[in-house]
Amino acid sequence: MKILVCISKTPDTTAKIAFTDNNTKFATDGVQWIINPYDEWYALVRALELKEKDPATVLHLVTVGSADTEPIIRKALALGGDEAIRVNADSHDSYYIAAQIAEIARQGQYDLVFTGKETIDYNGSSIGGMVAELLDMPFISLAVKFELAGTTATVTREIEGGEEVAEVNLPMVVSCQKGVAEARIPNMRGIMAARTKPLKVVDPAAAETLTEIVSFTLPPAKAGVKLVPADNPEELVRLLHEEAKII
Amino acid sequence: MSVLIFADQFEGHIKKSSYEALSYGAKLAEMMGTSAEGLVLGTIKDDLSSLGKYGVNKIHHVNDASLDHLDAQQYAAVIADAVKQLQATVVVFSNNLSGKAVAPRLSARLKAGLVAGAVALPDLSNGFVVKKNVFSGKAFAQIAVKTDIKIVALNPNSYSITMVDGTAAINNLTISAGSPRVKITATNKVSGAVPLGEAELVISGGRGLKGPENWGLVEDLANLIGAATACSRAVADAHWRPHHEHVGQTGLAIAPNLYFAIGISGAIQHLAGVNRSKVIVVVNKDPEAPFFKAADYGIVGDAFEVMPKVIEAVRKLKGK
Ligand SMILES: Cc1cc2nc3c(=O)[nH]c(=O)nc-3n(C[C@H](O)[C@H](O)[C@H](O)COP(=O)(O)OP(=O)(O)OC[C@H]3O[C@@H](n4cnc5c(N)ncnc54)[C@H](O)[C@@H]3O)c2cc1C
Ligand SMILES: Nc1ncnc2c1ncn2[C@@H]1O[C@H](COP(=O)(O)O)[C@@H](O)[C@H]1O
């Protein structure tokens, strides 16, 4: 069994969101970078669990990013995994990134490719589906449960107002969200081991970009809260009915 | 040249989020001076011609029972064939759970640029530029699509349904669907409840409610106005409420018309999932709770005293 987990680098959830260069670039000054939570907490941890159950499993991590993503991928390796691959490219076009991941997956002949549900900065929720298409593999999006018996996976995915259970034969691509696994904290042994694990850097494959970010904008600031006294909650209901016309 | 809108179904019924996509696609077609056409896959129980009221002239229907359940791979292949046959130049999806599965595959298959999570109509004054949510609702990006065929996946609840007088002509489209590679073995719907992702009104509770036994305060209000219920992550983690109710950066991101938060502090990760709501109401006993900064209406007070009175006033208003 060979598993590939896609790891991306995102700003910390509390990072201040601001833009520079005429609102064309995210202002990275003072920003703390983390492993995208969905990749770390769910995709990676579920892959680690599969490897713990079957130690013969080969588990590789891949990230598409410039050299400054290395601390993040090392951090991911501290949780587990045998080696990491960094595709040395910097792009925000989902198709371009997916093409790089698909190339790595093709070369490595992985049985399973895990991604997170979405990146918390670009919120595409797109790369898993694109990789699956490029590899001509089945894709289950937004999995909340993933079980494996031999080469058949039983995957539960979220649907509107419920869940759907599907059986799929490997190889396949799965995007993971809450429910698939429980987040872990790296331990000292993992952190030490990560230092010596191989981190391969490869050049990007030729691929097009289909989209381009023109600019960023911030939402307009709220006008401010209208407070209703606690001893007159009826007034709140009146405002919601007559002013906001919402109930 | 046409705008093709994928109208997604569940158990034979078109989803509400697809009505938004149809309305959006119809307006876009008007802006582009072309026709708006819907695409429906699988066996349908609804009257498809009535989808004309969302502004589409035609519905193409691939009436094939092997497409009753979503297999993203199969759907993308069929939609790609339809796009080619019909020479569509823009494909619109709802960025709902099916859209998230299929639109990226179609994008890769056709090498057509995708904007996932669009929140407004494209700006056509200089190419094709679509505003989308980024940084989990904390900002927007304007994305230019550079390819001939463009794909837009519209976030649920970000474009209002518009209705016109009209019926759509039905065109039965024959496209070989192949067989699905994904076998659906069970579907578990939470019965009766309004699906949170599609809900227009949402009542939500946090740790301030002290325990699951007090959720009547949330549910009574929700039932009175037909709202869905939600909760903070702290509440879902404590198993007071099911995980699918958890909203926020790592839960569901929603954009209802009303988000009513009771006993939720308004941590930045929580706000990331709800700050696109049109009206936010906060009830919290702490005047310093960060949520008040993001709210439109608020009461600084004890939920256990305030909420029964709110519920009573709504009951009166609704004559129940
Ligand atoms: C990476 C990351 C991701 C996260 N993702 C999410 C996410 O997706 N969603 C999410 O919700 N959280 C998320 N969190 C957690 C978030 O930071 C908060 O811890 C969480 O939202 C707090 O939940 P709460 O407001 O219910 O509880 P608390 O923070 O405990 O707040 C309870 C509130 O209730 C008020 N209160 C108490 N008693 C009463 C009363 N009697 N009447 C009225 N008000 C009362 C208090 O004043 C307080 O403001 C994330 C955290 C991290 C680090
Ligand atoms: N630059 C990247 N390198 C590796 N994996 C990525 C990258 N960007 C996104 N991913 C993966 O794709 C998932 C979905 O990302 P997105 O489509 O951008 O929301 C993420 O959760 C990651 O698992």
Q: What is the pLDDT of residue B195?
A: 80
* Dihedral pair phi/psi, residue A211, rounded to 5°: -135, 170
Pure H helices in A80-232: 94-108, 127-135, 188-196
Q: Domains in chain B and their CATH numbers?
A: 2-172 (3.40.50.620), 196-318 (3.40.50.1220)
pLDDT band for A152, please (50, 70, 90 cuts). Answer: very high
- Residue range A110-151, pLDDT digits in tens: 999 999 999 999 999 999 999 999 999 999 999 999 999 999
Q: For residue B251, how far is its CA from the centre of ligand 1 (angstroms)?
A: 13
With the CA atoms of B177, B180, B184 and B187 taken in that order, what torsion angle do they form, in degrees rounded to the nearest 10?
A: -30
Q: For residue B293, how far is its CA from the centre of ligand 2 (angstroms)?
A: 32
Helix (H, G, I), strand (E, B) or coil at B145: strand
Q: What is the pLDDT of residue A54?
A: 96
* Dihedral pair phi/psi, residue B147, rounded to 5°: -95, 165
Q: Is B239 on the interface with A (CB under 8 A)?
A: no
> Which of A13, A94, A158 has its CB closest to that of B97?
A158
Look-up of token digits 């900064």 = B293
Query: Mutate which of A17, A126, A217, A241 to disrupt the B interface (most B C-beta within 10 Å)?
Result: A126
Ligand of minimum distance to the alpha carbon of A38: 2
Residue nearest to atom 1 of ligand 1 (CA): A13
pLDDT band for A82, please (50, 70, 90 cuts). Answer: very high
A64 vs B98: CA distance, rounded Å: 26
Answer whether residue B320 shows pLDDT above 80: no
Percentage, residues of chain B above pLDDT 90: 88
Mean pLDDT on B17-24: 96
How many pairs of residues across A and B have Cβ atoms under 8 Å apart?
Answer: 286
Answer whether residue B248 shows pLDDT above 70: yes
Q: Establish whether residue A36 lines the binding site of ligand 2, counting it when its CB lies within 6 angstroms of any ligand atom.
A: yes
Residue nearest to atom 20 of ligand 2 (CA): A116
Residue with more model confidence, A219 or A21:
A21
Mean pLDDT on A76-105: 97
pTM for the full model?
0.91
CB atoms within 10 A of CB B164: 11
- Residue range B59-69, pLDDT digits in tens: 999 999 999 99
B205 vs B261: CA distance, rounded Å: 6
Look-up of token digits 């009766």 = B192
Mean pLDDT on B197-221: 96
- Residue range B129-150, pLDDT digits in tens: 999 999 988 899 999 999 999 9
Q: What is the pLDDT of residue B206?
A: 98
Ligand of minimum distance to the alpha carbon of B132: 2
Q: What is the pLDDT of residue A156?
A: 97
- Residue range B144-196, pLDDT digits in tens: 999 999 999 999 988 999 999 999 999 999 999 888 899 999 998 876 667 88
Q: Give chain A's mean pLDDT.
A: 96
Mean pLDDT on B74-79: 98
pLDDT band for B244, please (50, 70, 90 cuts). Answer: confident
Query: What ipTM was predicted for this assembly?
Result: 0.92
A161 vs A182: CA distance, rounded Å: 23
Q: For residue A124, how far is its CA from the centre of ligand 2 (angstroms)?
A: 8
Q: Give chain B's mean pLDDT.
A: 95
Q: Domains in chain A and their CATH numbers?
A: 2-218 (3.40.50.620)
Q: For residue A115, how far is its CA from the centre of ligand 2 (angstroms)?
A: 7
Answer whether residue A79 shows pLDDT above 70: yes
> Which of A133, A167, A211 has its CB closest to that of B115?
A211
Q: Is B249 on the interface with A (CB under 8 A)?
A: yes
